[in-house]
Amino acid sequence: MSGRRINAPLVVGGLLVLLVVIMALVSYVWTPYEFKFLPVPKEQPPNAEHWLGTDRSARDVLTQILLGARTTLFVGVVAVGVAALIGVPVGILAAMSPGRFGQLIMRGNDILLAFPALLLAIMFSTLYGGGTTIAMIAIGIATIPAFARITRSGALQVINTEYVAASRVAGHGPLAIAWKHVLPNVTGLVIVQASVSFAIAILAEAALSYLGLGTPTGEPSWGRMLLESQNVLHRSPHLAIIPGAAIAVAVLGFNLFGDGLRDYLDPKLEGR
């Protein structure tokens, strides 16, 4: 009865996400300087030439922030993509499989759930020596259970409805039912989960890069900027605060967007 209403978190979150996307897009056509050591003083505070200052290797901070947005989004997209591509079918399969088999899938899912993204990424990095690709895949695998779970719960609601029973009686196979009835009904849930998982992926990537196991040296990354700034913070706190704020803005954006979207798609749940 009550219609969908645009809410404040949706708008604010959407704008913050848009800001990060614009930063990443801008970095393809323009950055204030090149991403390299410049013949200028190191550790400059923000000023007219370098709007966000320079780091301890005399690289422009704004340039790194813009390029870092690209890395952040890239990691998020790939990790969430991997997780959704595997997690959603697994969740639907678990919901549509009768009895033991469905339960078994979810048990396996619960065990994978005990592997936090960061831990899996650290473990993988021992074997493959870290790097952005390893980080993305590890974060993606660790995020599968979240998608499988939410998809299964959404799918179960649809499967128990009368129109799916009718469709089954009409002779539609499980694949047709999954495609025609289940998938459209879990899309909203999956998008909300994607937004929330995106935020988690950003946090994991930042932590990994800070530990030196994520994005390698020479590639721009917000987490890496934090690592490189650590020893000079007492004189140049802006070198931590700026990339820190960038991470927080991106995470806040995706979290708010996910929350807002959930309320928008299901007004009954508003405020929860």
- By CB atoms closer than 10 A (0-12, 13-18, 19+), residue 254 is buried
CB count within 10 Å of CB 133 equals: 12
Contact criterion met (CB below 8 Å) for 58 and 38: yes
Residue 96 or 193 having the CB closest to other proteins: 193
CA 244, distance to chain mean position in Å, is 17
Size of interface with other proteins, in residues (CB under 8 A):
42
Report 41-60 residues binding other proteins (CB under 8 A).
none
> Given candidates 30, 39, 98, 127, which one binds other proteins under the rule CB under 8 A?
127
Residue 6 or 40 having the CB closest to other proteins: 6
Residue 171 or 271 having the CB closest to other proteins: 271
d(CA 16, CA 257): 9
What residues contact residue 43 under an 8 Å CB cut-off, 6+ apart? Answer: 53, 54, 55, 56, 232, 235, 236, 239
137 binds other proteins (CB under 8 A): no
198 binds other proteins (CB under 8 A): no
Contact criterion met (CB below 8 Å) for 86 and 142: no
φ, ψ (nearest 5 deg) of residue 74 = -60, -50
> Given candidates 247, 258, 260, 263, which one binds other proteins under the rule CB under 8 A?
247
Report 200-239 residues binding other proteins (CB under 8 A).
203, 206-207, 210-211, 213, 226, 230, 233-234, 237
125 binds other proteins (CB under 8 A): yes
> Given candidates 4, 36, 107, 180, which one binds other proteins under the rule CB under 8 A?
107
Contact criterion met (CB below 8 Å) for 245 and 1: no
Positions that interact with other proteins (CB under 8 A): 107-108, 110-112, 114-116, 118-120, 122-128, 199, 203, 206-207, 210-211, 213, 226, 230, 233-234, 237, 240-241, 244, 247-249, 251-252, 255-256, 271-272
